[in-house]
Chains A and B, each alone.
Chain A
Amino acid sequence: MLHADFVIIICLIYVAILFSVAFAGDRKARRNPGGWLSSPLVYTLSISIYCTSWTFFGAVGTAARDGFDFAPIYLGPVIVFIGWWVFLRKLVTVGRVHQTTSIADFISARFGKHPGLGALITIVALVATAPYIALQLKALTDSYQVLTHPAGAIVASSTILKPDYSVAFWLAAGLCSFAIIFGVRNLNVNEHHHGVIAAIAVEAVVKLAALLIVGLWVVLSIRGVPAEMFANAPVSLMQPADTFNVRWITLIFLSGIAVVCLPRQFQVMVVENSSERQIRTASWLFPLYLFLLCLFVFPIAIAGLNRLPAGANPDLYVLTLPLQEGRPHLALLAFIGGFSSATSMVIISSIALSTMISNHLIVPLALRFSVIPSASTQSVRRFILNTRRASVIFIVFLGFLYYWLSGTSSALASIGLISFCGVAQFMPGIISGLFWRRASASGVIVGMIAGFILWAYTLFLPSFGGMFFMPLSVIEGGLLGITWLKPYALFGLSGLDPLVHAVFWSLFVNATLLIGISLITEPTPLARLQSALFVDVFRRQTESEQRIMRRTARVADLRQVAERILGPREAVQLFASGQGAKRTVIASDDLLSQVEQRLASHIGAASARSMVSRVVTNETISVQELKRLAGEAEQIRAYSEELERKSRQVEEAAAELASANRRLREIDKQKDEFLSQVSHEVRTPMASIRSFSDILLHDRDMEEARRERFLAIIQNESIRLTRLLDSILHMNQMERGETAWPLELLDPEEALDQALESCEALAHSAGVRLERGQRAGPVQVLGDSDKLAQVFINLISNAIKHNADTAPLVRVTSAVRDGVYEVRIADNGPGIPPQERELIFIKFERGRYAGRSGAGLGLPISRQIVERFGGSLELAEDCKVGAEFVVRLRPVEASRARDVGEDAPPAAAK
Chain B
Amino acid sequence: MSDRRLLVVEDESNIAEALSYVLRRAGFVVETVSDGDLALQRLQREHFAAVVLDIMIPGTNGFEILRAVRADPALADLPVLVLTARGQAKDRQLAEELGASAFVTKPFSNAEVVERLCAFTGCSQQES
Contacts and interface: CB of A to CB of B under 8 A. Distances in A.
A851 interface: yes
B87 A694 contact: no
A713 B14 CA distance: 7
A852 B11 CA distance: 8
Contacts of B57: 851
Interface in A708-736: 710, 713, 716-717
B88 interface: yes
A3 interface: no
Interface string A682-710: 01101111111011001100000000001
Interface centre among B19, B56, B111 (most CB of A within 10 A): B56
Nearest to B111: A694
Contacts of B107: 683, 686-691
A680 B128 CA distance: 27
Interface in B1-50: 11-12, 14-15, 17-19, 21-22, 25
Given A684-B15, A684-B85, A690 B108 contact: yes
A696 B107 CA distance: 16
Contacts of A637: none
Interface string A367-402: 000000000000000000000000000000000000
Given A698-B128, A852-B58, A687 B22 contact: no
A221 interface: no
B25 A688 contact: no
Interface residues of A, number: 25
Given A687-B107, A852-B58, A679 B18 contact: no
A713 B88 CA distance: 27
B15 A680 contact: no
B106 A695 contact: no
B106 A683 contact: yes
Contact of A691 (B56, B86, B110): B110
A689 B88 CA distance: 21
Interface string A756-788: 000000000000000000000000000000000
Nearest to A697: B110
A851 B56 contact: yes
Contact of B15 (A688, A694, A716): A688
A847 to B, nearest CB: 11
A307 interface: no
Interface string A642-684: 0000000000000000000000000000000000100111011
Contacts of A687: 12, 15, 85, 106-108
A688 B54 CA distance: 14
Given A680-B85, A717-B14, A852-B11, A694 B58 contact: no
A681 to B, nearest CB: 8
Nearest to A846: B56
A689 B109 CA distance: 11
A910 interface: no
A690 B57 CA distance: 20
A741 to B, nearest CB: 33
A684 B106 contact: yes
Contacts of B88: 676
A848 B21 CA distance: 29
B10 to A, nearest CB: 10
A691 B14 CA distance: 10
Contact of A713 (B17, B87, B108): B17
A684 B128 contact: no
Nearest to A694: B110
Contacts of A716: 14
Contacts of B105: 683
A690 B12 CA distance: 14
A676 to B, nearest CB: 6
B18 A691 contact: yes
B60 to A, nearest CB: 11
B93 to A, nearest CB: 14
A695 B58 contact: no
Contact of B18 (A695, A851, A852): A695
20 contacts: A676-B86, A679-B85, A680-B85, A681-B85, A684-B12, A686-B106, A687-B85, A687-B107, A690-B108, A690-B109, A691-B22, A691-B110, A694-B110, A695-B21, A698-B128, A699-B25, A713-B17, A716-B14, A846-B56, A852-B11
Given A683-B107, A688-B14, 9 more contacts: A679-B87, A683-B85, A684-B12, A686-B107, A687-B107, A694-B111, A695-B18, A695-B21, A695-B110
Closest 8 CB pairs of A and B: A687-B106, A683-B85, A690-B107, A691-B18, A688-B14, A687-B107, A686-B107, A694-B110
Interface of B: 11-12, 14-15, 17-19, 21-22, 25, 56-58, 85-88, 105-111, 128
Interface of A: 676, 679-681, 683-684, 686-692, 694-695, 698-699, 710, 713, 716-717, 846, 848, 851-852
